[in-house]
Structure 1
Amino acid sequence: MSEEIRIEGFTRDDFPNARVTRGSANVTLHSIQPYKEAERIASRLNPGIEWYFVAGFGMGYIVETLLKNPSAQILVFEPLTEIIDHAKSSRDLTKLLSDKRLHIIGDVDEIVPFLESRDIREVNYYLHRPYSLLFPEIFTGMEGILTSYLSKRQINKNTLKRFRMVWLRNMIKNLRYYYALPGINHLRHPFAGKPALIVGAGPSLAKNIEAIAESADRMAIIATDTALPMLGAYGIVPDFTVSADPQDKNTLYLLYSGNPATTLVIDAAGSFLTFSKFRPARTFLYDSFFPIYRELSPLWGEKGDLKSGGSVSTTAFDLARFLKCSPIIFAGQDLAFSGKKTHFHGNVLEDFLFHRIDRLHTYDNYHSRTLIFSDRIMIDGYAGGKVPTDRKFLTFLEWFKREIAATGVPVVNATEGGAFIPGAEHIPFAEVRAKYLASPIDKTSTVEYTAPENPVYPEYFLDVAAECARLIPLAQAAYSASLRAADDFRWKRDISGNFKPMNDFDRAVLTALKAGNAVSRFIELAMQESIERIMDSSSNSKEISGDIIDGWKGLYGDALLSLRKVRHLLSKAEALSSS
């Protein structure tokens, strides 16, 4: 820290304290009653959450008070070791600092790795206010770091929960393509050391789309699938288009673009509609992180890995690194609500909205609602000042920050709007052209891949189908029993005679899970919500009520539906493989 920092200790009413001066900021670390202050702070935090993150150690009063909770684990971020040294010289902190539940770090970049290393999923957060006045450049963004980390964990959890059946469906339906199509590992290209442009679908893309068209032969253009329609409208054919979302709606971007001359790079668990309906010049797979896919991938061989930070733009960025491009340039990467919009004008979703707007439901109102419902957060903007974003965008921004720091080539943000991306050079696209895009580049590439003549339908899927066939009658019996139980309860009859079929199914599922093999993991994924509810009900001794019985109906009905769906998908895939 370049500015001089002065620490002046003093004692009042037998409580050691300190005044700290940095530049024009002069603060006292604690009130005249530091323990009462600490108790008040502790009372506002949730003692049921194990981990506490305290931004600013001060004299240690707050940490000492929080450690009275025997289940507490505390992470302290303290950027100034001199403050801790002063506290140690003023108070006896031997016991406090030797407590194994206390962890102190002094580097902002250590926060997320620490949280990840201990798989911390929720945390109490307290920012000691004097620190935000002393070090605003550090502590203003502290909540954003935590928000991003926790949001990412929640996003990952919700993503798996939301898309598990979509991934299972796609993987089963895409099976034949795993053998037929090459992976990015099989691509031979001339792009190493050449500039790459990552084109996102942010609203600022409209600012430089024409300049991109004029310079298209001077860089490798890597587009997100969401940006493809606008590029097509300007006659731009990306060298690569990345598709990472498993949902069928993403196929619309590709089909809508009228731009099949591009090379598609797609997650192996991407939408089966994209595989079957979109016909690009070439298609390359990259390996899905989906656990079942990873277990089976030795059958068809590795396709190549790309990282993902939850957004297709993060995967496109990693593709540029995979190709060893330099520099890597961003356009349309707002990561914020530029002009109160989420995407560029002319996006497929925007066209969909135009069919739904009227005097009462306007286009502007839609974007306003997006801002309201997205838990708006103000962050540093591309051109200075603050811009609104949300937790999802903030998660992507933190991912880029970490990955850019670990990238050994220049990264340039030429978005000309949206968020400031730490670690990137921020210059307009016109300057990018002058500085990095001197002349046309060779884009000739080849593929080294031979598809197997007789692809194998995995025995694994036959085993899963057999397990589904065993569990479906039990699930049907349990569901029927839950319906009878609901009827008996409504008419105040004894419901105990309905318990056996439900218990039989619960035991069968839990027994299948205990096997711990690949088949059990597939069943666990297909029935994730049902299994969670079975586990919860087995440890729940609540008095039976109408709501609980309705829960049984939902549990066994969902389980039956999931098992039937998986069996149906497997039977269709087997028929295709044998035809």
Structure 2
Amino acid sequence: MENQIYQNNISVLKEIYGENIIDILSDESDEEIIVEEAKDGSYTLKIVSDGQSRYITSKYAPIREAKKFVNNIEDYDYETLFIVFGMGIGYHIFELSKLLGENNKILIIEPSISIFRKSMEISDWTDLMKKGKIFFFVGEDIELIDQFYNRHINELNVSNIEFLVFSHYDKFFPEIYRGVVKRLKECIEYIQVSICTLKYFSNQLNYNLFKNLKEIIKGNNIKLLKNKFKDIPAIIVSAGPSLDKNIRQLKEAQNRAVIIAGGRTLKPLLDNDINPDIVVSLDPARAVYELIKDNLDKEIPLVTTVISQSDIIREYRGKKYFSNVLESIGLINYLLSKEIDRIPQGGSVANMSLSLADYMGCNPIILIGQDLAYTDGRVHAQNSTYEFDGNNKKPNEGLIEIEDIYGNRVYTNKVWLSFLRWFELYIRENSEKEYIDATEGGAKIKGTKIMSLKETIEKYCTKEVNIAERLKNIDSSESDIIEKITHSLRRLQELKKNLIKVKKKSISGIKFSKKMLEYYRDNREYDINEILKALDDIDEDIKKYKLMTMGIYHFISPIILQIYHKEEFREKVNETEKERGIRLAKKSYTLYEGIKNSIERVIPLIDECIEDFKQYERSMKYE
């Protein structure tokens, strides 16, 4: 009969993780876990497997072992995310929990379901679980660890992670340990790439958002494409080196599958007399304009985002469908008074194309040219390179070795690897559909069936469907454009007025942050309670304009990341009141200055947008 501690733990686990936690815990294991009383009166665990036994925790003094584990931790603060490989009975976790501040969390990775069950029988985890301080990953399926990491590691905490190995867990479970570390490194690198992208493109993203606004109003909500091609195959055409092998075969799939191209593959497809059904444009940078500038007059529908490259969106002649992005949902909904659907975008055009195909109901979803590797030492297919690309050869550094579709080794880079992991995670989470890798080369994408394009077309692309006609007949009629422009114009003017108010508040925030710093650092004789109240009032006032401050999101994001990543802004262990005051004053000053500067940069964009809308209104009245 299960004891009360176990029942209480399971009850809370089910509240947090759902009923399927019972299925996980009921999995049978070949290993036997024996609980013994240690010399110090606590409990220890012995694992028996393949006729051999070994102690997971100290045989003599598990409590002392736990204290030593925690005492050896040096580099942490009250915002550190702890990842602990090895749960044991949990004494070391309870010791570690004594160090936690308000913003600390512990991610516990326990490879053995049997050990996890024993810990649930012996130790009361309910308090830590209810407080949201600990989170568990249990089992040996490394493919699931990505989801676990993605839930808990983000742009704000990625630079403040402490990975800890308990006891000899890395020796007891060496393969799982290597997989856990490898995937953690990949997760961190993926987020670091995202941060670099955000910092590099922060100006461009805000610029594109306001430049695209009129086209978004005149264009179409991506929602119109939802489930419009249910159970029709989709072929996503990417520009990897292997595309040279089978691009001409795509002719056989025309009007038998939805062919989705990116900017780089549009020209080679047209050169081979293949008309894609949809073009996807994701990137915000001007460079992507060069890929598509000679084909902007095509009538092929374009699927893009509200922050994608604005010149392409303005000049493209075909019908345009817009997906929102997470950071702009509130602002776009406010400016347009309607919701624009959002599909996952990943980090590449191919990532977004996969989620688009899924969103449209396509099945199966077929990938070609998706090497994600330097196949034959090349970067792109021969017919997909441009002068500004430089040479098309594999570099000599930054290479990562991974498995290819034939089981051999092939080189990739960390950016492509992040795209690969995104594919694998998306496929795992949306496994009800069939995914086929018909690239005929490149990296292995787990979750896909590997086939040649010829076989794929013969098996799946068997029914004639007039894709272009179906797209043409999608009803996109809405209310009068001029009416929507007038409405959004009023909202833009309101946005500008409110951002100016926020700017004034931020200037006051800068002034009081300086005073706070002078009080704590220079011992100035100010009324600190008055200063703190003023800063609290400013914070509350700015919160009232939370929706409006979304207008500066992409400008302010690098500042927010700086605040979270710089050690001087993190709450230290055992910091004095003076140290805390100096830290908070500097943090506050940096934030308010960032808000002020961001508003000063975005106001000209809003002014330009307002003037553009007014001109459009005038021109429409005279037509």
Q: TM-score, normalised by structure 1?
A: 0.74
* Contact 1:530-1:559 at 8 Å conserved across structures: no
Aligned residue in 1 for 2:611 = 571
Candidates 129, 138, 141, aligned match of 1:106: 138
Deviations 1:296-323 (A, max 9, x none): 3654x45543222232222211221222
Describe the SS at the equivalent of 2:260: strand
Query: 529-538 or 182-191, which moves further after superposition?
Result: 529-538
Shift in CA distance, 226/476, structure 1 to aligned 2, threshold 3 Å:
farther
* Contact 1:57-1:76 at 8 Å conserved across structures: yes
Are residue 83 (structure 1) and residue 115 (structure 2) matched? yes
Query: 419-428 or 557-566, which moves further after superposition?
Result: 557-566
Aligned residue in 2 for 1:306 = 343
Shift in CA distance, 32/229, structure 1 to aligned 2, threshold 3 Å:
farther
Q: Please state how far the C-alpha of 1:330 moved relative to its aligned partner.
A: 1.1
Aligned residue in 2 for 1:51 = 81
Q: How many residue pairs align between the two structures?
A: 534
Percent of aligned pairs with the same amino acid = 22
Are residue 21 (structure 1) and residue 59 (structure 2) matched? no
Are residue 448 (structure 1) and residue 471 (structure 2) matched? no
Inter-partner Cα distance in structure 2 for 1:104 and 1:553: 39
Inter-partner Cα distance in structure 1 for 2:55 and 2:401: 28
Candidates 229, 232, 256, aligned match of 2:270: 232
Inter-partner Cα distance in structure 2 for 1:410 and 1:264: 25
1:240-255, aligned counterparts within 5 Å?
240-255=278-293
Inter-partner Cα distance in structure 2 for 1:554 and 1:516: 16
Aligned residue in 2 for 1:321 = 358
* Contact 2:507-2:592 at 8 Å conserved across structures: no
Describe the SS at the equivalent of 1:284: strand
Inter-partner Cα distance in structure 1 for 2:322 and 2:356: 12
Inter-partner Cα distance in structure 2 for 1:229 and 1:132: 51
Aligned residue in 1 for 2:574 = none
Aligned residue in 2 for 1:519 = 548
Q: Please state how far the C-alpha of 1:221 moved relative to its aligned partner.
A: 0.7
Aligned residue in 1 for 2:519 = none
* Contact 1:180-1:451 at 8 Å conserved across structures: no
Inter-partner Cα distance in structure 2 for 1:184 and 1:73: 38
Q: Which amino acid aligns with 1:244?
A: L
1:381-460, aligned counterparts within 5 Å?
381-405=404-428, 406-443=430-467, 444-445=469-470, 446-453=473-480, 454-455=482-483, 456-457=485-486, 458=488, 459-460=490-491
Query: 303-312 or 520-529, which moves further after superposition?
Result: 520-529
Describe the SS at the equivalent of 1:218: coil
Shift in CA distance, 217/563, structure 1 to aligned 2, threshold 3 Å:
closer
Inter-partner Cα distance in structure 2 for 1:168 and 1:398: 28
Q: Please state how far the C-alpha of 1:138 moved relative to its aligned partner.
A: 4.6
Shift in CA distance, 69/539, structure 1 to aligned 2, threshold 3 Å:
closer
Inter-partner Cα distance in structure 2 for 1:64 and 1:534: 30
Shift in CA distance, 439/363, structure 1 to aligned 2, threshold 3 Å:
closer
Deviations 1:92-114 (A, max 9, x none): x5367875544433255765555
Shift in CA distance, 6/378, structure 1 to aligned 2, threshold 3 Å:
farther
Are residue 461 (structure 1) and residue 461 (structure 2) matched? no
Aligned residue in 1 for 2:329 = 291
Inter-partner Cα distance in structure 1 for 2:377 and 2:164: 31
Candidates 218, 222, 244, aligned match of 1:180: 218
Inter-partner Cα distance in structure 2 for 1:4 and 1:59: 19
1:64-213, aligned counterparts within 5 Å?
66-67=96-97, 69-71=99-101, 73-84=105-116, 94=123, 100=129, 101-107=133-139, 108=141, 111=145, 121-122=157-158, 123-126=161-164, 138-151=176-189, 153-155=191-193, 159-186=197-224, 191-213=229-251
Deviations 1:484-522 (A, max 9, x none): xxxxxxxxxxxxxxxxxxxxxx99996872432533442
Inter-partner Cα distance in structure 2 for 1:45 and 1:381: 41
- For structure 2, the residue ranges without an aligned partner over 5 or more in a row are 1-26, 511-534, 570-578
Inter-partner Cα distance in structure 1 for 2:601 and 2:537: 17
Q: Please state how far the C-alpha of 1:245 moved relative to its aligned partner.
A: 2.0
Q: Which amino acid aligns with 2:86?
A: G
Deviations 1:383-436 (A, max 9, x none): 224444444434433332332232422111122333322222122323323322
Q: Please state how far the C-alpha of 1:353 moved relative to its aligned partner.
A: 3.5
Shift in CA distance, 555/183, structure 1 to aligned 2, threshold 3 Å:
closer
Are residue 271 (structure 1) and residue 309 (structure 2) matched? yes
Describe the SS at the equivalent of 1:241: strand
* Contact 1:379-1:386 at 8 Å conserved across structures: yes
Q: Please state how far the C-alpha of 1:137 moved relative to its aligned partner.
A: 6.3
Q: Which amino acid aligns with 2:422?
A: W
* Contact 2:323-2:340 at 8 Å conserved across structures: yes
Describe the SS at the equivalent of 2:382: coil
Inter-partner Cα distance in structure 2 for 1:514 and 1:165: 23
Shift in CA distance, 561/181, structure 1 to aligned 2, threshold 3 Å:
closer
* Contact 2:370-2:439 at 8 Å conserved across structures: yes
* Contact 1:288-1:294 at 8 Å conserved across structures: no
- For structure 1, the residue ranges without an aligned partner over 5 or more in a row are 355-361, 480-505
Q: Please state how far the C-alpha of 1:328 moved relative to its aligned partner.
A: 0.8
Q: Please state how far the C-alpha of 1:470 moved relative to its aligned partner.
A: 7.1
* Contact 2:57-2:167 at 8 Å conserved across structures: no
Q: Please state how far the C-alpha of 1:254 moved relative to its aligned partner.
A: 1.7
Q: Which amino acid aligns with 1:461?
A: L
Describe the SS at the equivalent of 2:289: helix
Inter-partner Cα distance in structure 2 for 1:186 and 1:575: 29
Q: Which amino acid aligns with 1:21?
A: S
Shift in CA distance, 573/533, structure 1 to aligned 2, threshold 3 Å:
farther
Deviations 1:114-141 (A, max 9, x none): 5566676343224569666766665443
* Contact 1:112-1:149 at 8 Å conserved across structures: yes
RMSD: 4.9
Shift in CA distance, 556/320, structure 1 to aligned 2, threshold 3 Å:
closer
Inter-partner Cα distance in structure 1 for 2:253 and 2:402: 31
Inter-partner Cα distance in structure 2 for 1:314 and 1:200: 10
Deviations 1:224-257 (A, max 9, x none): 2233233233332211111122222222222245
Inter-partner Cα distance in structure 2 for 1:213 and 1:127: 55
* Contact 1:205-1:344 at 8 Å conserved across structures: yes
Aligned residue in 1 for 2:11 = none
Describe the SS at the equivalent of 2:220: coil
Candidates 374, 391, 395, aligned match of 1:368: 395
Aligned residue in 2 for 1:496 = none
Aligned residue in 2 for 1:494 = none
Inter-partner Cα distance in structure 2 for 1:397 and 1:42: 39
Q: Which amino acid aligns with 1:414?
A: A
Q: TM-score, normalised by structure 2?
A: 0.69
Inter-partner Cα distance in structure 2 for 1:145 and 1:158: 20
* Contact 2:252-2:457 at 8 Å conserved across structures: no
* Contact 2:281-2:302 at 8 Å conserved across structures: yes
Inter-partner Cα distance in structure 2 for 1:474 and 1:57: 48
Q: Which amino acid aligns with 2:548?
A: V
